[in-house]
Homo-oligomer: A and B are copies of this chain.
Amino acid sequence: MIPSQKSAERPVALLLAPDILDLLDSSPGDIAAETEELHPANLADVAQALPSERVVEFLRALPTARAADVLEYLDDEIRTEVLEALSTTQAAALVSEMTPDDRADALEELEDERADEILSEISTEARGETERLLAYPADSAGGLMTTEFVSVPEDITVEAALISVRNVARAGRREAMHTVYATDARGEVRGVFSLRELLAAPQGARIADISWADVVSVPPTADREEVARLTSKYDLVAIPVVDEGRVLGVVTVDDVIDAMVEEQTEDAQRQGAVAPLEQPYFQAGFWNIARKRGGWLVLLFVAEMLTGTAMRYYESTIAGALSLMFFVPLIISSGGNSGSQSSTLITRALAVGDVELRDGWRVLSRELGQGLALGTFLGAIGFVRAVMWGNSSDLAAVVAITLLAVVLTGTLVGAALPLAFTRFGLDPAIASSPFVASFVDIAGILIYFSVATRILVVG
């Protein structure tokens, strides 16, 4: 992914910020009207371009519902600051206007005490709803869902449903309205249809006639990856969260996309041998990052010490043929590189579902072939190079044989580890390049010197 060298939107926010500051000083009453056509995400950019002590003032100058919209788009840190700086009553008024899922997310970021203060001042209904959402893990379907969705009985007519949907739409904001759920007499979900299908339905049709019985849903405990996978597979704009036949809420596609991006970042960091950071790079504390890197780095360092132990074991072989040493970095890096290729390919194929656990043997036999092909090729280059450096053909053969064996080991270990991690319910992304490389480094040293001991002594 090539990042854009400058983002087009932020400059707009930077240009607007001085005007907003002027208005805040001269006539704050005009701010609402001046900004009413802006997308709330752009207003959030403007808020973030203001000096931090003016952000609260700016949000106060907006109508409450509008300020709540902007709050949803602010960075977590700034939103938390705002909710701490406002009076409890103001904060409560603001979060009351947020969608239930975003409200729960916002309160989750606050100190418990502050969150409780604010919760105590919102309506009993909203409080109960928020507490229910907060009870689910943030990464689960329950933690991602909003409870504002529309359902209608399946036995009413399309006209009656349209009136009902219009009433709901007019009553206030309902985030998740692109799809509507049809329920039976017991309140259990029986079908799903889109607003388009409702509008396209012929006069006199019943909801049961236009709705789809094959409702793709998830339980509240489903992991966010499962939510993302189903949303992507079935091209959904919202996925219902169903428990015992009843729709508890829906996860909307915008939250699915956010979850995908977070998941992607976590995976990339795991593959780079960094424990996932919870914050953006500059917001994460220096020692926090150092700790998340240090843990893996020390673990890999300690593992890599075994290479020294292995070489000490072969000290006499090495003393007899010092030139052997010149190939050590070349050999171990070839194993590491081919291993990281395999682990990347298989980890990714598992993530997108191209490969499943039961394909394990097929994967390994394919990677065996890849290892043989690539290892033979590198071995041939290595042989030529060793001879060109003036080494004996025996030593060149040792290098070539080792390269083949090491590349083979790399591809097999690189492919096997993600499968093994998945098998035991761990994230295959932990089978990161550095992890596989360390493993293969040690194997490479052992292979190299044992081949050398055999061939060079005989030769």
Task: Write the nearest CB–CB distance from A286 to chain B, whole angstroms.
Answer: 6
Q: Which of A24-32, A88-96, A108-116, A421-429 contacts B (4 or more CB under 8 A)?
A: A421-429
- Interface: A378 (CB within 8 A): yes
Contact present for A345 and B199 (CB under 8 Å): no
Contact present for B272 and A345 (CB under 8 Å): yes
Task: Give every chain B residue within 8 A of A348 (Cβ-Cβ).
Answer: 265, 268-269
- Bound-state CA distance A301–B165 (Å) is 64
Contact present for B268 and A301 (CB under 8 Å): no
- 29 A-B contacts, Cβ less than 8 Å apart? A2-B428, A5-B357, A6-B356, A169-B200, A177-B194, A177-B195, A177-B196, A237-B253, A257-B260, A260-B260, A264-B264, A265-B348, A268-B344, A271-B433, A272-B341, A273-B337, A273-B344, A281-B345, A282-B354, A282-B366, A286-B370, A290-B374, A294-B374, A297-B337, A298-B381, A300-B333, A301-B334, A307-B330, A319-B322
Task: Write the nearest CB–CB distance from A86 to chain B, whole angstroms.
Answer: 24
4 smallest beta-carbon distances between A and B, as pairs = A272-B344, A169-B200, A235-B254, A280-B354
Decide yes or no: A294 and B377 within 8 Å by CB, A281-B345, A356-B6 being known contacts: yes
The quantity of this chain's copies bound in the complex is 2
Which residues A312-366 have CB closer than 8 A to chain B? 312, 315, 318-319, 322, 325-330, 332-334, 336-338, 340-341, 343-357, 359, 362-363, 366
- Bound-state CA distance A236–B40 (Å) is 12
Task: Give every chain B residue within 8 A of A311 (Cβ-Cβ).
Answer: 325-326, 329
Task: Give every chain B residue within 8 A of A362 (Cβ-Cβ).
Answer: 282
- Bound-state CA distance A254–B356 (Å) is 24
Identify A3's interface contact among B41, B356, B385, CB under 8 A: B356
Using C-beta atoms within 8 Å of the partner chain, give the interface range for chain A: 35 or more
- Interface: A437 (CB within 8 A): yes
Task: Write the nearest CB–CB distance from A42 to chain B, whole angstroms.
Answer: 7
- Bound-state CA distance A49–B223 (Å) is 27
- Interface: A33 (CB within 8 A): no
Which residue of chain B has its CB nearest to the CB of A197? B169
- Interface: A293 (CB within 8 A): yes
Contact present for A334 and B304 (CB under 8 Å): yes
Contact present for A293 and B341 (CB under 8 Å): yes
Decide yes or no: A378 and B7 within 8 Å by CB, A39-B214, A290-B373, A326-B311 being known contacts: no
- Interface: A15 (CB within 8 A): no
Contact present for A199 and B3 (CB under 8 Å): no
Interface contacts beyond A268-B271, A281-B349: sample of 13 additional A-B pairs, CB < 8 Å, sorted by A: A3-B225, A169-B196, A170-B202, A177-B194, A260-B261, A272-B344, A282-B354, A293-B374, A294-B377, A298-B377, A301-B333, A301-B337, A318-B325
